Amino acid sequence: MDKEKKSAISKDTTKLAASPLTVKPKNVKLVPPDGAWGWVIILATSINLMVLPTTVTCFGVLVPFIIREYDSANIAGVSWIPGIAVAVLNLTGPWVSAMLKIYSHRRLASIGSVTMVVAIIVSSYAGSMLIWYASYGLLLGFGCSLSGVMGLLLLQEYFLKRRHMANELVRWFWIAWWIADLLGCRAARARGVPPISAV
């Protein structure tokens, strides 16, 4: 009798081991671990938030070159490019978060990263302002939305009790930059050197 029970148990465990990992059991609520890999997610999301917005906010560096390159370009027309990118980034945010029901965080973030790279490459070979609007404005904004929203939404799955702290720690770079800029201003006044923001 014991041998029959042992063989039945071993058959059941082999069935469990053979089941695919992608199948989620029904009526099971996953509880965020509040730590462990969550700290890695915080670090990755903060790096993500350092890199992604700067592709749009540092567009001013390209403005003089674009105006020199295209005869029909003026400052008002060129300033629409990052404006379109920010608008697309913000308007597609709810749509991107709804896409999580179909695709995984990893897939959407990867698609967003590839979209951003394609947008930057297409922009570097742009022959007219319309291509800049479409590539750097629409494509880059959509890629930033896909990649940027994923990190913030992933935080909500890894933290429950410490969720507020995690959301604030993600923005550590901006706080550190503000402190460095503030201290830089004080040091600049004392030494006669221009502050970070004036360079």
Tokens of 178: 């503000």
Ordered by start, the domain boundaries in the chain are: 33-160
Q: Between residues 32 and 117, which one has the greater pLDDT?
A: 117
- Is 26 or 81 the better-scoring residue by pLDDT? 81
pLDDT at position 177: 72
Q: Cα(42)–Cα(154) distance, rounded to whole angstroms?
A: 9
Res 137 pLDDT > 90: yes
End-to-end Cα distance, the chain:
83
Per-residue model confidence as pLDDT tens digits over 5-58: 555 555 544 444 444 445 556 776 766 677 778 888 888 888 888 888 788 888
pLDDT of residue 20: 46
3-class DSSP state for residue 11?
Answer: helix
- pLDDT value at position 110? 92
Out of 2-11, 48-57, 104-113, 132-141, which region has the weakest mean confidence (pLDDT)?
2-11
pLDDT band, very low/low/confident/very high, at 115 (cuts 50, 70, 90): very high
Q: Is the pTM of this model over 0.85?
A: no
* Distant-in-sequence, close-in-space partners of 173: CB < 8 Å, separation ≥ 6: 46, 49, 50
